[in-house]
Amino acid sequence: MLEIRDLHASYGHGDVLHGLNLSIETGSVTALLGANGAGKSTVMRAISGLMKPTRGEIRYEGQDISGMGAERVVRRGLALVPEGRKVFAPLSVAENLEMGAFQYLIKRDATRYHTQLEFVLELFPKLKERLPQTAGTLSGGEQQMLAIGRALMSAPKMLLLDEPSMGLAPLVVKQIFETLSELSGKGMTIFICEQNSEVTLRHANYGYVIESGRLVLSGNAKELLADARVKEAYLGG
């Protein structure tokens, strides 16, 4: 579904991605692992159109989308759940969800909006109870649910998640990953970048490990979980 070839990206002072290659199968849960600063968020930004790669290709459903711009990328069915959730704190839960649907709300497509809203509220019943509540007053876990819900409101075919476990208690992390598995069971293609390698690999089919913007390991999630190098570097020995 997504093929990344020779991806280079820079913030102006030399490349932080040095020719990454990876691919994501339709319907899979794929993990991108690496330490702080390895370049995971940069990969997510490049795919979602928030930054233009300096070199390389990002092919989505056979078409090169590199440098296409975030709005067009969302319209093609790719939605990002950003690092740190970035909910609109002063707005209500309902308004945050509406923001995720703006591309078809501006076309006054109310049917699609209600279908998608129903889907999201069924997945996250907690959000249903809190629709009028200000997003900034939600717990961290609820804000993460809202950030995922907002992304799902665009009716994506593929969901990109940038460190969804960040700052959350283990039990909440477990719930979030269980929901991602449920979504995967409904046919969603999922690409997650994480520092929390163990829980991610337990819920993934395939994984890539990057260091300083370069791919160092890749394989089936089960194999990576058992790999001594992964254990030592990312799973606490």
Smaller CB distance to ligand ATP: residue 11 or 106?
Answer: 11
Residues that bind ligand ATP in the complex, under the rule CB under 6 A: 11, 16, 34, 36-42, 83, 195
Smaller CB distance to ligand ATP: residue 50 or 155?
Answer: 50
Smaller CB distance to ligand ATP: residue 113 or 191?
Answer: 191
Look at the chain and count its residues: 237
User: What's the closest the beta carbon of residue 15 comes to ligand ATP, in angstroms?
Assistant: 9
How many CA atoms, within 13 angstroms, populate the side-chain half-sphere of residue 6?
5
User: What's the closest the beta carbon of residue 10 comes to ligand ATP, in angstroms?
Assistant: 9
Cβ contacts of 40 within 8 Å, gap of 6 or more? 32, 33, 34, 162, 163, 193, 194, 210
Smaller CB distance to ligand ATP: residue 134 or 195?
Answer: 195
Q: What burial class does residue 60 get, using C-beta atoms within 10 Å of its C-beta: 0-12 exposed, 13-18 middle, 19+ buried?
A: buried
Smaller CB distance to ligand ATP: residue 42 or 116?
Answer: 42
User: What's the closest the beta carbon of residue 34 comes to ligand ATP, in angstroms?
Assistant: 5
User: What's the closest the beta carbon of residue 70 comes to ligand ATP, in angstroms?
Assistant: 16
Smaller CB distance to ligand ATP: residue 11 or 108?
Answer: 11
List 7's β-bridge partners, or say none.
Answer: 20
Cα distances (Å, whole numbers) of residue 110 to 65, 101, 113, 153, 179: 28, 10, 5, 12, 26
User: What's the closest the beta carbon of residue 16 comes to ligand ATP, in angstroms?
Assistant: 4
Lay out the sheet containing 2-10: strands in order across. Answer: 15-24, 2-10, 55-60, 63-64
User: What's the closest the beta carbon of residue 62 comes to ligand ATP, in angstroms?
Assistant: 26
Cβ contacts of 44 within 8 Å, gap of 6 or more? 80, 82, 83, 160, 162, 191, 193
